[in-house]
Amino acid sequence: MRPSLAILLLVQLTIHTVASAQYTNVPEKFSWNPAPMKGISFSRAAYFGFNQQQQLQMRANMASVVELIHQLPVLNPPRGYEVDIFATLCEHNCDGGKVITAESSLIFQEYFRRGNSTVVERDAEGPSLNIHYNSIGRIVSRITVGKDEYFEEPYLTRQEQGFPVYGNLVVITKRKEPLFIPLPKERYFQIEIAAAQKRADEVKKSFREGSPYQQWLKSKDKNIEAAMKGFEWAAKEDPVKAKANKEKFLQGIRQQDSMYKACEIQSLRDQQQMVDKFDADVKKLQQELAGLSVQEKVEPMIGPNSRQYMQINPGFFDPKLPPSALQILVIDLFKYEPAKEYMFSVADKKLFADIQATLDLVKLQSLLQ
């Protein structure tokens, strides 16, 4: 018989209460470990064309943001926690070498004692706070690559201190330009036609190499020749075993040849059906584009969830500013709901509730250009 909801809740509450009683936060022990400015790899950002001076300036700008967070009363010092800070540049995309994107991650690992023990331990892992710099793509829940990427318009959850919150991400900027621009229907079909044509071309290229049987025949003789050399070598040690393995191998070759040959007609038919399908996809999209009126071509494309398709605004960033300039921050400040995080310790809940309540977003904005 399934236990009642009341019993389940009571068990969960009991487990949480016992766990909380077994572990005690140690506020007199703490550590704040900034990301190192030296000894880091610059290869990723260098790949996008940013020199070391630009990268160091970016790291300095990032450090200023992290230090402002460090000045929160709950984090200065972070009593009962070791805070490890990691930083990366151009981890995903750096906007074609125009703007440096980056990320800072603050990992909070609690110092605690078990029961009546005097031994202080530290969590091997803990909750995190992540700051994304110059990375609009983070708002749309995935990394956008290239100018042709589009996505459904993100949901604006609310405003926090006058700044928009998308999901659990608060967005801070001084720029007046929109983050996203609507995707016109004409551009949508152009993107989809190009993608469908690419898929069709790739399929045709693959099939030009022949059916599975034809491709197998190309390598059949070489495979047999290589195997025969192996059997000749093995025969020097054990002629009887080598002969038996050779016959077994040749029998397998004959069976495989027969199997491929029997499937040849169906394989060719399947290949042609696939080519026809991809060609039909391209033709259908081309017809839909051709059927649009002049007015419809410039109208926003609406997705299946009745929301506009959008693109990241290519004119959002100010090209006159240096690549290291901070123009937008995206912070997962509301990733956690402290009171509801049953895996959090009592100290974790208080820590993140205090961070969310006291982080001054306007002060962070003052660090931007």
Collapsed DSSP state (helix, strand, coil) of residue 237: coil
Is the sign of the CA dihedral 317, 51, 91, 190 positive or negative? positive
Res 333 pLDDT > 50: yes
Q: How confident is the model at residue 102 (pLDDT cuts 50, 70, 90)?
A: very high
Which amino acid is residue 214, in one-letter code? Q
Shared domain check, 260 and 159: no
Q: How many domains does the chain have?
A: 2
Shared domain check, 220 and 154: no
Residues 212 and 256: beta-carbon distance below 8 Å: no
* Residue 131 bridge partners (DSSP): 104, 331
Region 146-157 average pLDDT: 81
What DSSP line would sit under 301-342, residue for residue?
PB-TTS-BEEEE-TT-S-TTS-TT---EEEE-TTS--GGG-T
Structure tokens at 247: 């016959």
Instruction: Quote the CA–CA distance of 358 and 161 in Å, as a whole number.
Output: 11
Shared domain check, 161 and 67: yes
The pLDDT tens digits of the residues spanning 267-298 come to 778 888 888 999 999 999 999 999 999 999 99
Least confident segment among 18-22, 91-95, 161-165: 18-22
Shared domain check, 229 and 208: yes
104's enclosing H/E stretch is strand 102-114
107's enclosing H/E stretch is strand 102-114
363's enclosing H/E stretch is helix 361-365
Kindly tell me the burial class for residue 39, based on how many C-beta atoms sit within 10 Å of its own C-beta (0-12, 13-18, 19 or more).
exposed
Shared domain check, 190 and 338: no
Structure confidence at residue 42 (pLDDT):
66
Kindly tell me the burial class for residue 134, based on how many C-beta atoms sit within 10 Å of its own C-beta (0-12, 13-18, 19 or more).
buried
Residue 87, C-beta contacts closer than 8 angstroms, at least 6 positions apart: 35, 40, 59, 62, 102, 103, 104, 105
Shared domain check, 218 and 263: yes
Res 143 pLDDT > 60: no
- Percent of the chain at pLDDT exceeding 90: 57
Residues 153 and 312: beta-carbon distance below 8 Å: no
User: Would residue 310 count as lying in a domain?
Assistant: no
The pLDDT tens digits of the residues spanning 338-347 come to 888 878 889 9
Q: Which domain holds residue 261?
A: 186-298
Shared domain check, 136 and 36: yes
Shared domain check, 216 and 267: yes
User: Would residue 135 count as lying in a domain?
Assistant: yes
Shared domain check, 10 and 104: yes
Shared domain check, 235 and 137: no
Which one has a higher pLDDT value, 223 or 196?
196
